[in-house]
Amino acid sequence: MASGVGLLGADRIFDENCPAVSPGGRINSYGYFIIATSVGGNALAFHVESGRVYWVDRSCFCDEIEVAIRHPSGTYAYQAYSPKAVENAMVGVSDSLESFLYLLLADELTAKMDGLDSW
């Protein structure tokens, strides 16, 4: 574990992304796959199309019909699942998987992960 993030092995990646599990099962159809978990119990997802890595608040994806989009003020807006709503409910961590892995292994994500997990 580095930066308060644990990368998942193949078995855990499968488990975190199966249809019955939130958030993985709810965001897979939009091209996102959970690849890691944070110390705070949230997840990190890789977006296949853009190559970006996002922090995913598990509580935003509990509902099967609507995604909760958290605003900086601490309030939530609820929207039906769509590509834009899913993206808006997550926070970008890195513009590429390579950059994410570098920052992770260099322990340069600790402050960001701590801030997001306590948000």
- pLDDT band of 75, cuts 50, 70, 90: confident
Identify the domain containing residue 84 by its residue range. 5-113
- Domain membership flag for residue 14: yes
- Which has more confidence, 53 or 70? 53
Q: What is the pLDDT of residue 112?
A: 87
pTM of the predicted protein model = 0.91
Residue 61 pLDDT exceeds 90: yes
pLDDT band at 110 (very low <50, low <70, confident <90, very high): confident
Does any domain span residue 91? Answer: yes
pLDDT at 28: 95
Closest Cα to residue 3, out of 37, 51, 53, 54?
37
Residue 103 placed within a domain? yes
| Average pLDDT over the chain, rounded to an integer | 92
Pairwise pLDDT comparison (45 vs 20), residue with the higher score: 45
Give a yes or no: residue 119 inside a domain: no
Task: Place 71 in a pLDDT band, splitting at 50, 70 and 90.
Answer: confident
Q: How far is CA 26 from CA 6, 31, 99, 100, 111, in A?
A: 21, 10, 25, 23, 28
Phi and psi (nearest 5°) for 44?
Answer: -125, 135
The closest alpha carbon to 89, from 116, 112, 49, 50, belongs to 116
118 domain-assigned? no
Contact indicator for 92, 32 with CB cutoff of 8 Å: no
Q: How many domains does the chain have?
A: 1
* 41 domain-assigned: yes
pLDDT in tens, 26-53: 999 999 999 999 988 899 999 999 999 9
For residue 26, tell me if it sits in a domain. Answer: yes
Nearest to 19 by CA among 81, 69, 64: 64
